[in-house]
């Protein structure tokens, strides 16, 4: 079933609803999930908000094309409407973004008009809980020009034996730069993206969900990496968020050819790649 929206949902009431419902959710891979597709036509980008996002993530400001990660921000309110609902089986509070795959078929103009579609694609077992996959599609001129698949983990007790898929292990990539991350990165990114999950905002709220300090947003880490790496107009981007990036902290950005990663605390925290596609 498709539901056509007339405007982007307001995030504050959705986050409040999701927080209130979270204690009553009992996540499991076999649970039913909403089959609704939310559609938002005629969307235009707020250029001031876009510029603030670009500054927080390290992208150059004023480009005609959107950063490859920005459509995720546009689709986030629709995803939150789905994930904060009573029929979504995972608790919104404490959800952890574990991976993202983006296919950008052509560069998106910052001043253009587009249509968003967001839906939940399914649930899957994870050795630490249950993951939900959320699909975001952007159409311009009637064609899909950008699409993504994000997975979100609700951590709960399992038998720990579920196999995880992912990239094969490889030698550490050559270091390119060392980045010192301020303690307010989560709050700054939350302000421009709307993602105010408490694990990202303050040490106290992060500790409520088992983290010693605030954790950087996965989409901020991949955006920061892509701002340094660069992407062609038509590209496939893959990233896995392997370990939390704690704030404040120091990380090493490493890259070689198509691949990139962030390392800190003696382990790989983000691993990804950028692969050119035929436009």
Average pLDDT over residues 51-72: 95
Residue 165 has pLDDT above 60, yes or no: no
Please give the pLDDT value at position 278.
Answer: 80
Peptide bond into 248 cis (omega under 30): yes
Mean pLDDT over all residues of the chain? 93
Q: What whole-number distance in Å separates Cα of residue 151 and Cα of residue 84? A: 16
Question: Which residues contact residue 96 at a Cβ distance below 8 angstroms, ignoring those fewer than 6 apart?
Answer: 152, 153, 155, 199, 218, 241
The CA distance from 224 to 253, in Å, is 9
Alpha carbon distance 138, 222 (integer Å): 19
Q: Which DSSP letter does residue 69 get?
A: T
pLDDT digits (tens, 9 = 90+) for 235-257: 999 999 999 999 999 999 999 99
132: Cβ–Cβ under 8 A, 6 or more apart, which residues?
Answer: 33, 83, 88, 90, 120, 122, 123, 151, 152, 154
Q: How far apart are the first and last CA of the chain?
A: 31
| 81/83 Cα distance (integer angstroms) | 6
What radius of gyration, in Å, describes the C-alpha atoms of the chain? 18
Cα distances from 66 to residues 21, 27, 40, 54, 276, in angstroms, run 34, 35, 18, 9, 17
Mean pLDDT, rounded, for 186-197: 92
> pTM for this one?
0.91
Cα 77 to Cα 13, 119, 133, 160, 258: the distances in Å are 11, 12, 16, 32, 31
pLDDT tens for residues 88-144? 999 998 788 999 999 999 999 999 899 999 999 999 999 889 999 999 999 998 999
Q: Are 253 and 260 in contact (CB under 8 A)?
A: yes
The reported pLDDT for the residue numbered 279 is 63
Query: What percent of the chain has pLDDT above 70?
Result: 96
pLDDT digits (tens, 9 = 90+) for 193-232: 988 888 899 999 899 888 899 999 999 999 999 999 999 9
Sheet of strand 129-140, all strands in order from the earlier edge strand to the far edge:
2-4, 37-44, 113-126, 129-140, 143-155, 96-104, 235-241, 267-276, 259-264, 249-256, 175-181
Q: Residue 14 and residue 137: Cα distance in Å, rounded?
A: 21
Residue 167: pLDDT above 50? no
- How far is residue 243's CA from residue 247's CA, in Å, rounded to a whole number? 13
DSSP state string for 86-150: TT--S-STT-EEEEEEEEESSPPBTTSEEEEEEEEEEEEEETTEEEEEEEEEEEETTEEEEEEEE
Question: Quick one: pLDDT at residue 35?
Answer: 94
């Amino acid at each position: 079933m498709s539901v056509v929206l007339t405007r982007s949902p307001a995030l504050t009431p959705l986050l409040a609803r999701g927080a209130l419902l979270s204690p009553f959710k009992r996540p499991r891979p076999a649970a039913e999930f909403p089959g609704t597709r939310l559609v938002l036509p005629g969307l235009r980008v707020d250029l001031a908000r876009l510029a603030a996002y670009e500054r927080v993530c390290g992208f150059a400001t004023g480009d005609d094309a959107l950063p490859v990660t920005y459509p995720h921000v546009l689709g986030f309110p629709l995803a939150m409407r789905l994930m904060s609902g009573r029929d979504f089986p995972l608790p919104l509070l404490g959800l952890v973004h574990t991976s993202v795959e983006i296919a950008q078929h052509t560069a998106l103009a910052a001043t253009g008009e587009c249509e968003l579609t967001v839906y939940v694609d399914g649930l899957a077992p994870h050795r630490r809980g249950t993951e939900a996959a959320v699909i975001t599609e952007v159409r311009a001129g009637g064609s899909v020009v950008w699409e993504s698949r994000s997975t979100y983990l609700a951590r709960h007790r399992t038998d720990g034996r579920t196999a995880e898929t992912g990239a094969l292990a490889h030698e550490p990539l050559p270091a390119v730069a060392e980045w010192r991350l301020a303690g307010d990165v989560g709050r700054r990114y939350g302000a421009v993206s709307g993602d105010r999950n408490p694990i990202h905002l303050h040490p106290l709220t992060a500790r409520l969900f088992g983290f010693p300090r605030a954790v950087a947003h996965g989409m901020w880490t991949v955006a920061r990496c892509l701002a340094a790496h660069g992407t062609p107009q038509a590209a496939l981007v893959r990233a896995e968020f392997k370990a939390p990036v704690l704030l404040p902290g120091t990380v090493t950005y490493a890259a070689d050819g198509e691949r990139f990663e962030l390392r800190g605390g003696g382990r790989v925290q983000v691993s990804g790649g950028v692969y050119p596609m035929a436009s």
